[in-house]
Structures are given as structure tokens and as C-alpha cells.
């Protein structure tokens, strides 16, 4: 029996596991996918929001601002790419000027540091590629851009290093309240736990419903994107928003920590939580909306389109609560944006709720809270030469678009949560994330996964089991 079971290992489940791993507790994390951060955490705008958007007094406002501050600390400790580039909300009309004034007041009430209204001239001086229609803007210097899956993976890795039992490919199928807590039925057997934290993202209501009927509904909403090549990465230097509306934070244009430019999202309601399709109409809407901010966007440099699913609930608030019927059950639901920004603060709050429910928290003497990770393509020429002399695998470039070496991939494959699929390697080191989208490097990555993790090449997947890339051996002895 474990003290706490966490269902789901997106950024919220990973942050909870990381927080709990500093205490003397037996913790298990149950995740249905073959890797962490494969749900909504994989596909979003990757912004650590400053926190002026949520209404003052809400949990969302408090946890966003606190999460923003914690993100800086955690990224530094755990070697996660994060840059505080700041954000601008543009006023593109006189009416918008009133709206950004209201956002400014919210920001002040929420305690957002350094927030300020800029004139048209100040705005254009910061970002010369913006539309001539700009009348002014709201500047929030604490907003940042992050690698969202690295953020979640880093926290999950630290949880594992500190003794948390991460069970991948373990789908929860039933929750039975018992005298001691819960018997959690999974695709790999039953896990008994005294306390339960549900962090199931867009499937929150379905998972909570296994124990008791939730008093909320999740209405998934799809957001689609363009991802532009590195050639466009300097188009803007901060995150460019338009005034938010009832559908969300609107279409943004922003640099990414990987040097690309991200443009999106739209908001399309869907009943299917797995519906990550990208539509021509969605992209056309994003293009016309984004051009209102940055008219000269070069969308011909698009290298990929993708979509993510928001876990919107029926209230404009996170649904974080302790069950009244089963006080040992903590539900972390309605984790729409700014869930990524708030994640570490949500986790701290969840731990407080567990403590209120009776969980004893005793710090470990041996808690490890530092994670070293580097990428070859971020090193200076002198550092690269020294590294190659020490470890020749860093001299063999596997992904030419992103300059990812065999050394980077081998290091990733031997980390505490080994990436077992082509996409998992892509999320860890960026191989396949460039202009050719894996056209050249995928076969080499495939070979390295099979060799290093001793997996039959026929079983190496693109993502989860069922997405195997090879079907058999050819008569010539190669793989097909």
C-alpha cells in the first residue's frame, strides 16, 4: 500500500509528485501513456503567464502569480529552458485601451510584479514588427517562455530520483473507496493507497466519476497552432497577446525557448478529449487574427501545425477541491490555462490539502533538488571541442536541423525516466523538432532506442504501443 497515489503525469501530476517526494512518504504515480507529459502538457502555448488575466481573489489568480515566481526557481534548479521575455497585451483600438486598463488593475490587485501600461511609441520601440494600428499595450515583465514538456519531465524525474514509483502505461479503470483509503484498479493490477490525488487533465471528470459523481463538467476546447522555423524566431522578442475575450487569451505570437516562433491558438469546442486535429478553417482564423498584431508574419516558414485540448470546466476557475464524501481524495480539475504557469503552486496547495486531510508530512534528510542537464547545441565551440574529446559520441550529429548529437540522445536514454519512443526522444533532446521534422534522424533515433534500451526494433514506437514503426524484416536482412 502507498501513502499517496497520483493519477496522471502531466505538468500537474509531475509537480505534485515532485512536491511530495521531499517527504518521507510512499508515493505512486499512475499514468496511462508510455511517457510523461503526453496530454495537454505536450501541446500548448508554453507561456508562463504573469497573472493579470484571472479575476482577483480567485484561486487561479493566486496560484498563477505564485507559480510564475516558482517557475523561475525550479527552472534554475532543474536545468529547464525558461526565459522571462515579458509579455505585451496590445490595444488595437480605443476600446482595447479601456480593456488593457482593466487588465492593468487586475494585475495590480493580483500582485503581478513590474506591470505597466505603455504608450503606442513605447510599444513600437520594443517591438518594431507590430501593426501600425497599435494604440498602446500592457507590459508584464515577469511573463516567460518555457519548454513545457521538459518542465514536467524534470519535476517527474526528480520525483523518481527521490523515490516516487512512476508507473507508465498504467491506465486507471476504477476507484473503490475502502476502509483504509482507495483500491485503484488499473490496466496493470490494483494499487492500494491511503490518499488519492487526481490530476487527469481533460479526463478529470471521468476519473473523479470512478469514485463519485463530480459536481462539474469538463468541456474540452481545442487550440491549433503554427510553429515557424528558426529563421522567424526573432520576429518578436516578447509574447504578443491581443485583448482576451470569452474564448480565452486570444491569438498570440511568441518566440519559443527552442528559437522558433509560435502562432495561435484558436478555440474550438469539441466533445472528444483526444481530438487534436488541425483544420484549414482554424488555421485561416489564426492567420488573420495574428496578422492584426504582426502584419508581416512569414507563415510560409511554417514547419508544423499541432493542436492541444483545454480542460475547460463549467466555471472560470480551477476546480481544486477535497472531496466531501471521501476527504482523502484531492481533485485537481479544470486545469485550463494558466495551468502550466500555476503548476508548482497548485502542487503546493494540493500538499496542504493532503495535510489538512491528515497526511503526516515529515521532510527527508536526503532530498535531492538539483538536476544537471545540458544540450550540445547550447555550448560554445570550445566547450563542444572539449566534450567531444572526452566523449566522442557528441561528435556524431544525428539531427542536423537542431544539431542534436548521439551523445545528447545517449544521455537522455539513460536518465531516470528513459524516453522509449521516437517522440519521447524528440521531447527530451529536440531531435526531429527542426525543419525536416525527423525525416533524416528518425531511423537513427529508432536504432539508438532499440540498442540502448535493449528493445526489439520491431517494438520501438512513435509514441504509445500501437504506433510501432516497423512491421518486419526484409528479405535483405534489414528492417521494413
Ligand X SMILES: Cc1cc2nc3c(=O)[nH]c(=O)nc-3n(C[C@H](O)[C@H](O)[C@H](O)COP(=O)(O)OP(=O)(O)OC[C@H]3O[C@@H](n4cnc5c(N)ncnc54)[C@H](O)[C@@H]3O)c2cc1C
Binding-site member from 25, 156, 202, 399 for ligand X (CB under 6 A): 202
How do strand 268-269 and strand 2-7 relate by DSSP bridges?
A: unpaired
* Closest alpha carbon to 31 in 148, 152, 150, 146: 152
Interface with ligand X (CB under 6 A), residue from 108, 113, 119, 171: 171
Please identify, using beta-carbon distances, which residue of 145 and 422 lies nearer to ligand X: 145
Q: Cα torsion at 399, 372, 164, 318 (round to 10°)?
A: -80
Residues belonging to the active site: 49
User: Mapping DSSP to helix (H, G, I), strand (E, B) and coil, where does residue 184 land?
Assistant: strand
Direct distance between the N- and C-terminal alpha carbons of the chain, in angstroms, rounded to an integer: 45
Report d(CA 398, CA 434) in Å as an integer.
12
The verdict on 47 binding ligand X (CB under 6 A) reads yes
Q: Confirm or reject binding of residue 191 to ligand X (CB under 6 A).
A: no
Q: How far is the CB of 340 from ligand X (least distance, A)?
A: 3
Question: Is 91 a residue that touches ligand X (CB under 6 A)?
Answer: no
**Contact pattern for ligand X over residues 357 through 386, marking x by CB under 6 A:** ------------------------------
Interface with ligand X by CB under 6 A: which range of 34-42, 287-295, 371-379, 469-477?
A: 34-42
313 lies in the binding site for ligand X (CB under 6 A): no
Least distance from ligand X to the Cβ atom of residue 455, Å: 22
Q: Which is nearer to ligand X, 250 or 407 (CB)?
A: 250
- CA nearest 432: which of 252, 255, 237, 227? 227
Number of shown-chain residues binding ligand X (CB under 6 A): 40
Residue 276, H or E segment = none
CA angle 463, 17, 34 (to 5 degrees): 15
CA–CA dist 201, 13 (Å, integer): 9
210-239 residues in contact with ligand X (CB under 6 A) are 223
**87 touches ligand X by CB under 6 A:** no
Q: Taking CB under 6 A as the rule, does residue 167 contact ligand X?
A: no
Q: Which of 21, 45, 110, 442 binds ligand X (CB under 6 A)?
A: 45
107 binds ligand X (CB under 6 A): no
Is residue 8 at the binding interface for ligand X, with CB under 6 A as the rule? yes
Residue 362: CB minimum distance to ligand X, A = 27
**Is 201 a binder of ligand X (CB under 6 A)?**
yes
Is the bond leading into 256 cis (omega within 30 degrees of zero)?
A: no
Tell me the helix, strand and coil percentages in the chain, rounded to 5: 35, 25, 40
Task: Tell me the C-alpha distance between 226 and 239, whole Å.
Answer: 15
CB 435 to ligand X: min, Å:
23
Site map 247..286 versus ligand X, x via CB under 6 A = ------------------x---------------------
Q: How far is the CB of 275 from ligand X (least distance, A)?
A: 12
* Contact between 29 and ligand X per CB under 6 A: no
Q: Are 118 and 135 in contact (CB under 8 A)?
A: no
DSSP for residue 421: B
Using the 8-state DSSP alphabet, how is residue 366 labeled? T
Of residues 101, 119, 106, the one with CA closest to residue 49 = 106
What distances in angstroms separate CA 240 from CA 25, 73, 99, 127, 254, one per listed residue? Answer: 43, 24, 16, 9, 6
- By beta carbon distance, the residue nearest ligand X is 339
Identify which range of 101-109, 306-314, 367-375, 429-437 contacts ligand X by CB under 6 A: 306-314
What does the DSSP 8-state code read for residue 300?
Answer: G
Least spacing, CB of residue 60 vs ligand X, in Å = 10
Cα gap 167→405, rounded to integer Å: 29
Question: Of these, 84, 258, 310, 371, which contacts ligand X (CB under 6 A)?
Answer: 310
Residues near ligand X, by CB under 6 A = 7-13, 30-33, 38-41, 44-47, 49, 171-172, 199-203, 207, 223, 265, 308-310, 335-341
Amino acid at each position: 500500500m502507498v501513502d499517496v497515489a497520483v493519477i496522471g503525469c502531466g505538468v500537474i501530476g509531475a509537480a505534485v509528485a515532485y512536491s511530495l517526494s521531499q517527504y518521507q512518504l510512499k508515493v505512486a504515480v499512475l499514468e496511462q501513456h508510455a511517457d510523461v507529459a503526453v496530454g495537454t502538457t505536450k501541446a500548448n502555448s508554453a507561456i508562463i503567464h504573469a497573472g493579470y488575466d484571472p479575476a482577483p481573489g480567485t484561486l487561479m489568480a493566486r496560484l498563477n502569480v505564485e507559480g510564475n515566481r516558482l517557475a523561475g526557481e525550479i527552472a534554475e534548479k532543474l536545468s529547464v529552458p525558461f526565459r522571462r521575455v515579458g509579455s505585451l497585451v496590445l490595444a488595437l483600438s480605443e476600446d482595447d485601451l479601456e480593456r488593457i486598463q482593466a487588465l492593468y488593475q487586475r494585475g495590480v490587485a493580483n500582485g503581478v510584479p513590474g506591470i505597466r501600461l505603455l504608450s503606442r511609441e513605447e510599444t513600437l520601440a520594443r517591438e518594431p514588427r507590430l501593426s501600425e494600428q497599435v494604440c498602446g499595450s500592457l507590459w508584464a515583465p515577469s511573463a516567460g517562455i518555457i519548454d513545457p514538456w521538459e518542465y514536467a519531465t524534470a519535476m517527474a524525474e526528480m520525483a523518481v530520483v527521490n523515490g516516487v514509483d512512476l508507473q507508465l502505461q498504467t491506465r486507471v479503470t476504477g476507484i473503490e473507496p475502502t476502509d483504509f483509503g482507495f483500491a485503484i484498479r488499473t490496466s496493470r493490477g490494483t494499487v492500494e493507497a491511503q490518499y488519492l490525488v487526481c490530476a487527469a487533465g481533460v479526463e478529470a471528470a471521468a476519473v473523479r466519476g470512478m469514485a463519485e459523481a463530480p459536481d462539474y463538467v469538463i468541456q474540452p476546447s481545442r487550440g491549433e497552432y503554427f510553429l515557424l522555423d528558426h529563421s522567424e524566431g526573432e520576429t518578436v522578442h516578447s509574447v504578443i497577446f491581443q485583448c482576451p475575450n470569452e474564448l480565452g487569451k486570444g491569438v498570440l505570437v511568441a518566440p519559443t525557448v527552442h528559437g522558433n516562433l509560435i502562432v495561435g491558438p484558436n478555440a474550438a469546442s469539441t466533445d472528444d478529449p483526444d481530438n487534436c486535429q488541425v483544420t484549414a478553417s482554424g488555421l485561416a482564423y489564426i492567420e488573420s487574427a495574428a496578422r492584426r498584431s504582426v502584419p508581416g508574419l512569414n507563415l510560409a516558414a511554417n514547419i508544423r501545425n499541432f493542436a492541444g485540448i483545454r480542460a475547460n470546466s463549467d466555471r472560470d476557475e480551477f476546480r481544486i477541491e477535497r472531496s466531501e464524501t471521501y476527504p482523502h481524495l484531492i481533485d485537481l480539475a479544470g486545469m485550463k490555462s494558466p495551468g502550466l504557469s500555476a503548476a508548482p503552486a497548485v502542487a503546493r496547495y494540493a500538499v496542504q490539502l493532503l495535510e489538512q486531510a491528515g497526511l503526516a508530512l515529515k521532510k527527508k534528510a536526503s532530498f535531492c533538488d538539483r538536476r544537471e542537464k545540458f544540450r550540445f547545441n547550447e555550448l560554445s565551440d570550445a566547450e563542444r571541442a572539449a566534450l567531444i574529446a572526452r566523449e566522442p559520441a557528441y561528435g556524431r550529429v544525428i539531427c542536423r536541423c537542431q544539431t542534436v548529437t548521439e551523445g545528447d540522445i545517449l544521455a537522455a536514454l539513460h536518465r531516470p525516466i528513459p524516453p522509449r519512443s521516437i517522440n519521447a526522444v524528440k521531447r527530451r533532446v529536440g531531435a526531429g523538432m527542426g525543419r525536416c521534422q525527423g525525416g533524416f534522424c528518425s531511423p537513427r533515433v529508432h536504432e539508438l532506442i532499440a540498442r540502448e534500451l535493449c528493445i526489439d526494433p520491431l517494438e520501438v514506437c512513435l509514441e504509445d504501443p500501437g504506433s510501432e514503426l516497423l512491421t518486419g524484416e526484409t528479405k535483405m536482412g534489414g528492417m521494413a
